[in-house]
Amino acid sequence: MIGVINYGAGNLGSVMNVLARLGAKADFVPGPDEVKRFDKIIFPGDGHFGTAMCTLEKIGYADAIREWLKADRPFLGICIGLQLLFESSEEAPSVDGKTVCGLSVIPGVVKKFSCRKVPQIGWNSTVFRKRSRLFPEPSTGDTPFFYYIHSFYVKPSDDSVIAAEADYSERFCAAVERGALCAVQFHPEKSGADGLKLLDNWLNNH
């Protein structure tokens, strides 16, 4: 059973609809104490880094997610679900005068695009640079296109976790993978056939 984390933000309906289309059994996680009863976890979302992180800490999901990832259990983060895995973000260095730290599961930071035209909204080609649970073969020939909407991107301290990259005024990390942890900046649930393929790969490669 796949658990979809609901912390009050994100494209939850779209994610659930795509999982149903792929024949996957999924349900919303009722709360942080219920995370462990699921086989795999998806953490979708969009929104503000500081607000999202403060909400996760307040309702207890932050520690539950950290424990899940420490145990190296199957996890897929989407959009803000990728960014929150990092240590900090230029979007929200602090909230109400208090420093905001991410889940700090992956060393690195979240940075704002240097170009004036943000957010990036729309389709972008994405190159998978290594064998991945998301795409078992690195990109060759025609690269997949995914749907993005974001003004910030992750910058891992260790490049070895980068599974995919894309370009938007500069080269940026579009996906990470480390053990059973996978996370993407784009929205596979809104990315047509390529998004369906990626989600199907994730569902079947654990």
Angle between helices 192-204 and 12-21 (to 10 degrees): 70
Catalytic residue among 48, 177, 189, 206: 189
Residues with Cβ within 8 Å of 3's Cβ and at least 6 positions away in sequence, in order, are 26, 27, 28, 29, 34, 35, 37, 38, 40, 41, 42
User: 16: which 2 tokens?
Assistant: 């659930």
Domains of the chain: 2-204 (3.40.50.880)
| Cα→Cα distances 115→46, 112, 120, 158, Å | 21, 9, 10, 24
Q: 166: pLDDT confidence band, cut at 50, 70 and 90? A: very high
Indicate which residue of 79, 91, 150, 182 is catalytic.
Answer: 79
Active site residue 87: no
Tens-digit pLDDT profile for residues 20-63: 999 999 999 999 999 999 999 999 988 888 889 989 999 999 99
pLDDT, tens digit, for every residue of 85-135? Answer: 999 999 877 666 667 799 999 999 999 998 878 899 999 999 988 778 888
Asked whether the predicted pLDDT for residue 139 surpasses 60, the reply is: no
Single pTM value for the model: 0.93
**Does the annotation count 170 as an active-site position?**
no
Cα separation of 86 and 104, whole Å?
A: 5
Q: Is 79 a catalytic residue?
A: yes
Q: Are 173 and 155 in contact (CB under 8 A)?
A: yes
* pLDDT for 138 beyond 70: no
Residues 179 and 76: their CA atoms lie apart, in Å, by 12
